[in-house]
Amino acid sequence: MKSGRLVPLVLLFVSVAVVGTWFREGIIYAGAEVGLSPYFNPDRFLGIQQFTWWDDVAPGMLAPHFISAVPFYFLLSILQPMFSPLILQAAIFCVIFFLIGYGIYLLATDILDESRKKYAVFATLFYMFNSYTLVSVWHRFLYSTLILAATLPFLILFWRKWIKGGRFIHLSIFLLINFFSVYMYGNLATVITVWIALLLISLAEVLFPWQGKYYTGKLIGKFFTGLILWLLVNIWWIAPTFLIAPVILSQQHSSENNITTLILLGRQTVIPYLLQLANPFYLFYRQELGEVYSSTFFRILPWIMSALILIGLFVSLKLKNYAKYAVIFIVALLLSKGAAAPFSYPFIFGFEHSFFIGIIRNPFEKLGILLPLFGSIIFAIGLEGCYRFGLRRFGLGVARFGVFIIILALIIFAWPMFSGRIFGNKEFPVRVKVPESYIQANEWFKQQKENQGVILHLPFSGQDVVTYDWKEGYHGVEQNEILFTTLPSLSRTVGVKRVDDTLNSLTYIFNQPFLENEEQILRVLQLLNIRYIVLHKDTKWEDVATYGKDIKLINPFEMEISLDRLNFLKKDALFDKLVIYSLKSQFYQPKIVFFDTAELVYPGESDIMQIMSFSQGKNPTITADYMDLTETVLSRIGEISIFPQNILQYSVASESALINMASNMLNDPNNPASVMGQLRTIEANFYQSGQLSSANLVREIIVTGETLVRYFNLIRQQAESKLIFSAIENYNDSLNNIFENNFKDLSLTKLYKQQIANFFYLHLYILEYIEKQRPDERQKISDISIKLINSLKDNDLLPVYLQSYLPGKQEINRKILKYKIPVKSKYEIYMANNNTPDFYPDLLSKLELRVNDKSATISGEIDDKRIFLGDYDFDGSLYEISYNVLLSVNLVPELDDFLKVGNIKSENFGALHLTANAAGIAFLESPIGNVKGRDIYKISVDVLFKQGSKFYVEVIQNTEDFEDKKKFQTLKQGDCTFHSCYIIELYPGKEGWQNYTFFTQALNLASRKSSIRILIDNGEILIKNLLVNKVFDEDVVLKKRVNELPDSLPVGFVTADYQSPVFYSGKIRLDKPTFLFFKETFHPGWNLQLVKDGKVQTVDNHYLGNLYGNIWWVDNPGDFDFRIEFTPEQNVGKGIAVTIVTTIIIVLINCFLYFKRSILRK
């Protein structure tokens, strides 16, 4: 049999055999980032993903880039009735496995000349079984990468034929392959990968060797013809994706995030791993394919292939037809390594200056497929070189044995492919068997007559990932919208910050103390159009690996008890670990509702629970620019609530402390304990974590400090005026450098706002001192100080009204809340009352409330929920309200009363002596009194290090494994796993007793119990004077009653037809002007049109409603036909039209060319 037929037959056999081993246990693979897609109910996926707006992921989500999956889902949905998900997945994997091999075989056959064609088989083996394909293609388990790996050789094959031969049929086949593999473009980085490969091939064709201007011109023409036709044929998914997706991506990823990811990954994919084509994260760090890959034998194996590639590289460079592939391989290597050395900076520069290329922030994963692709050609040539060398030197037998050993090494390294352990890891094996209870529950929903509303799935994590304790387990993206097919499912966030924050209320409202307010819970359910609740008792709610340290779900078994008590819920059905509740009919509100009264809310930086505690009426809320509201809308606004736009903690050390710090900074700036030393530590931490932009900014801030110190020293040394002048100019320039940059959006200013502010406050203090010493430079110094103050104010690092708070004898700690006042008026000032006054003696008198630079009189009326502070006339637009940050009384007992575990002795002077070593740790623990969610503590303790230099302070919450005593026994050295764990280290160069004082992070909002634990894992410390004080930290809210209006009444009637996720129509009858609330996620693309007597009226007054949805103000009553449409979807229709026209033209051109050729032949 000819190799042209034999090879595909063998490949088909190998594909069936290998993929067969993966499915021998009859279980499908699912989870991780792909979830249950695309085999579990592809028809449902198709129904959702054919639109750019997904209404089944309630309350609605914009997902334009998934539309490219439609052809694939369409194919699967046709096959769905005939085959089980298992058969479908196995068949698709088999096809991909085969195509990966066959594509590269055809490409290698096409590239290699006649004498080398037999080596195409070895290129095929290399491409199929190399380290990249093993880990980054198969194990990574992303369908876009799988399809890319299978398709790219075919794309390059026909693209080469097109640019070399210029036959239009080859370009047409190239476009056809693109259409069949369009699913891969769901990952936008694939577009870049494909076109980089095509560009490299085209460039190499014209450059190596240079073919002359005419050939180059022709090739450029072919390249752009191909590119334009590709764009036109793919415009149906490109248009919606690139017109809408950038907005979403910029919300989800910042430039700093992209650079940080790039740098961190660059540190992983360093040259020793890159040359093996190995992804070290999965292969070595997490050992997901087994510990065996860390053994010496397996660490040697990939170097055999790398050596052959290196040999192939040099052999190719000497061969006229292959040198280009060696150069392409080198370029691919430089692209795939990202920010790894050598030549790291071009990538970082690109990321700093273009947000778009952030989509390849993981270059090895996104572009790395180019390495095995072009590497396979180089590998074949290298193997041929070795074989010929062996043949010449040692004879046929040895040469063949050598080739056998090399191929054996390749196969052994890819062993998980043959053993069926290619996917997942021990913890999360990505094998899924959806429990029967889910099928039954879905069937139950299908039988319900009430087929409106949304199914809320609890516990709600506020994320999009979940872990279930199903028989085979499930860990991956939450996809209840696929498991429950009759109604939209609300079980995850939707990727829009404002909306996600509102949805996060679902994490907390079913827990104390919010659970006590049944009306509030009902209101939230009604506003989100909830009709049913499914409680998933199979959720692994305590799994830190899934949800992270910062959130802890509520135990679903406890939640069931809470839900049972709610009067407006009915327990309808129970399917194993799924409990179904429904909202009693009288409480359910439909998707479109009307209100004649609303509240105007400006949420600012406050979290949803703070906002909810201040707006508990029955009216909806709208958020809009006040100036955009018409008179009639304003006449229906009952109340305005303004939450702080920006919150700043402002601390000024006492004058004596400032003198001390300034002295340290000026006399010993290199001391790690000085302010500059602390900044250097912050800089090092940012470098360590890959946050380069923030690290560079800290460096520049340190440089300003160093320049200031140099300036001060020159004055002290009475240096020449020229030098002194030059120093102050340098200082001025370095300040300009800092504030000209994008200061506000960096992690530095979010995480270390206070430290940066304090550092510059120290500058101001030193400048003021110098100003007094150097009267002749007073003006210059004063100008710099003013400029610095203004820059700090502009960047929210200092309050605007600073002059009232110059340093004094006492330290000043104030909370500054900034407000944008929508309309000049008198507002009432409130704070939430969380039993606050009980723990802060003389709270109201000590608050010293100020509005801007004026003291505000506090009336101090306190009720159950609020503290009324007084009225104030706000006659401007920007205001600052500030109050003293107060500390509660000490909330922990004496040290002797703490729980003590390990080697702990009491000393005479009230101290405790803790000793820990390899034999065991030691810790003290005590509950903290009066805990509520979001508490922040100031912890202060005196410590004497006898041995060692480190210990831990942990703040444990009941939302963590609070009661888990086993944890104490399993604590080991370096264990610091709880939400708030603080490492206390000995100040360098310090001896004797030291005081350590710090503020903790805020507790989880749902926490009700908390403990402090002092833990040492190695060494000896003495501690005394431990104080834990709660920080008074309530937001201040401004309220204004605009109109005395009763709660909203029913004002209209609607009959709505659900046409599609992007189009609703029906009839409405309005008795009077009204707010129409449409319970889908807000997007400016939603458009409301009213039709009466053939006249179409577009309603312009479109606002954010209830902090997530759409509200329109309809000001003319009557009977109307209405249409609500998501207008960006029209891009899809236009795109499809262009695609169809282009495809018809391509077909016609091919027909014309075919007949022309036939005629010429005759």
Partner 1 sequence: MRYLLGIIFFAIFSLVFIILEYGRFTLQKDELIQPVIFAAVAAAIFINCKCRRFVLSFSLILIIIMVVFYLFNNLSVSNWIGSLGVGILVILIFSYLPNLIKNGHI
User: Residues interacting with partner 1, by CB under 8 A?
Assistant: 207-210, 270-272, 275, 296, 299-300, 303, 310, 317-324, 326-327, 330, 333-334, 340-346, 348-349, 699
Kindly tell me which of 278 and 563 has the beta carbon lying closer to partner 1: 278
For residues 1012 and 967, give the distance between their C-alpha atoms in angstroms, rounded to a whole number: 15
Identity of the residue, 76 or 676, whose beta carbon is nearer to partner 1 in the bound complex? 676
Shortest Å, Cβ 384 to partner 1: 16
C-beta closer to partner 1: residue 341 or 405 = 341
Which one-letter DSSP state was computed for residue 137?
A: I
Q: Please give the single-letter amino acid code of residue 1108.
A: Y
CB of residue 476 to partner 1, shortest distance in Å: 31
Paired with 467 in beta bridges are 475
Which residue lies nearer to partner 1 by CB, 342 or 992? 342
699 vs 1008, which CB is nearer to partner 1?
A: 699
**296/718 with CB nearer partner 1:** 296
Q: Provide the minimum distance between the beta carbon of 315 and partner 1 in the complex, in angstroms, as a whole number.
A: 10
Is residue 1019 within a helix (H) or strand (E), and if so which, with residue range?
strand 1019-1031
Nearer to partner 1, 299 or 865 (CB): 299
* Minimum CB distance to partner 1, residue 316 (Å): 8
Q: Shortest Cβ distance from residue 320 to partner 1 (Å)?
A: 4
Check if the beta carbon of residue 711 is closer than 8 Å to that of residue 704.
no
Residue 690 C-beta: closest distance to partner 1, Å: 15
> How many angstroms separate the Cα of 278 from the Cα of each of 237, 298, 928?
33, 12, 49
Min dist CB 269 to partner 1, Å, is 10
Smallest separation (angstroms) from partner 1 to the CB of 285: 11
Secondary structure of 271-304 as H, E, C letters: HHHHCCCCCHHHHHHCCCCCHHHHCHHHHHHHHH
Nearest in space to 612 (alpha carbons), one of 623, 625, 601: 601
Q: Which residues pair with 815 in a beta bridge?
A: 649, 883
Shortest distance (Å) from residue 132 CB to partner 1: 17
Question: What number of CA atoms fall less than 13 Å from residue 851's CA on the CB side?
Answer: 24
Find all residues with CB under 8 Å of 288, minimum gap 6, and list them: 139, 282, 424, 425
Of 1004, 1034, 1036, which Cα lies nearest the Cα of 934? 1004
183 vs 273, beta carbon nearer partner 1: 273
Closest to 466 (Cα-Cα) out of 545, 398, 567, 561: 545
Tokens of 824: 């000049």
Quick one: 695 or 788, whose CB is closer to partner 1?
A: 695
* Residue 36 or 335 with smaller CB distance to partner 1: 335
Compute the least distance from the CB of residue 274 to partner 1, in Å: 8
Cβ contacts of 1064 within 8 Å, gap of 6 or more: 591, 592, 1056, 1057, 1058, 1078, 1123, 1124, 1125
CA distances from 223 to 158, 505, 935 (A): 13, 53, 62
Kindly report the three-state secondary structure assignment for every residue of 821-833.
Answer: CCCCEEEEEEEEC
Instruction: Identify the burial level of 75 via C-beta atoms within 10 angstroms of its C-beta, where 0-12 means exposed, 13-18 middle and 19 or more buried.
Output: middle
Q: Which is nearer to partner 1, 39 or 132 (CB)?
A: 132
User: Which residue, 215 or 349, is less far from partner 1 as judged by CB?
Assistant: 349
Q: What torsion do the CA atoms of 258, 259, 264, 267 make, to the nearest 10 degrees?
A: 130
Residue 284 or 355 having the CB closest to partner 1? 284
Q: Provide the minimum distance between the beta carbon of 1151 and partner 1 in the complex, in angstroms, as a whole number.
A: 38
CB 1026 within 8 A of CB 941: yes
Shortest distance in whole angstroms from residue 270 CB to partner 1: 4
Which tokens hold the place of 908? 């005479």
Nearer to partner 1, 180 or 215 (CB): 215
- Residues β-bridged to residue 1122: 1066, 1090
Name the residue nearer to partner 1 (CB basis): 325 or 872: 325
Amino acid of residue 712:
F
Q: How far is the CB of 344 from partner 1 (least distance, A)?
A: 6
Task: Tell me whether residue 323 or residue 1099 sits nearer to partner 1 (CB atom).
Answer: 323
3-class secondary structure, 232: helix
In 10 A of CB 1126, how many CB atoms?
22
**Cα(224)–Cα(214) distance, integer angstroms:** 16
- CA 835 → CA 611, 612, 929, distances in Å? 18, 17, 13
Residues 1014 and 926: beta-carbon distance below 8 Å:
no
d(CA 951, CA 983): 6
Q: How far is it, in rounded angstroms, from Cα 1024 to Cα 942? A: 5
N- to C-terminal Cα separation, the chain: 34
User: In angstroms, what is the minimal distance from the CB of 317 to partner 1?
Assistant: 5
CB-nearer residue toward partner 1: 341 or 1145? 341
User: 64 or 280, CB closer to partner 1?
Assistant: 280
Torsion angle (degrees, nearest 10) of CA 317, 323, 326, 328: 150
Minimum distance from residue 253 beta carbon to partner 1 (Å) = 22
CA 331 to chain centre: 30
* Residue 1079 beta carbon to partner 1: minimum distance, rounded to whole angstroms: 49
Q: What is the DSSP letter of 209?
A: T
CB of 413 to partner 1, least distance (A): 15
Question: Looking only at Cα atoms, what is the longest distance across the chain?
Answer: 113
CB of 319: closest distance to partner 1 in angstroms? Answer: 6
Rounded to whole angstroms, what are the CA distances from 593 to 58, 328, 455, 1052, 1070? 17, 61, 18, 8, 11
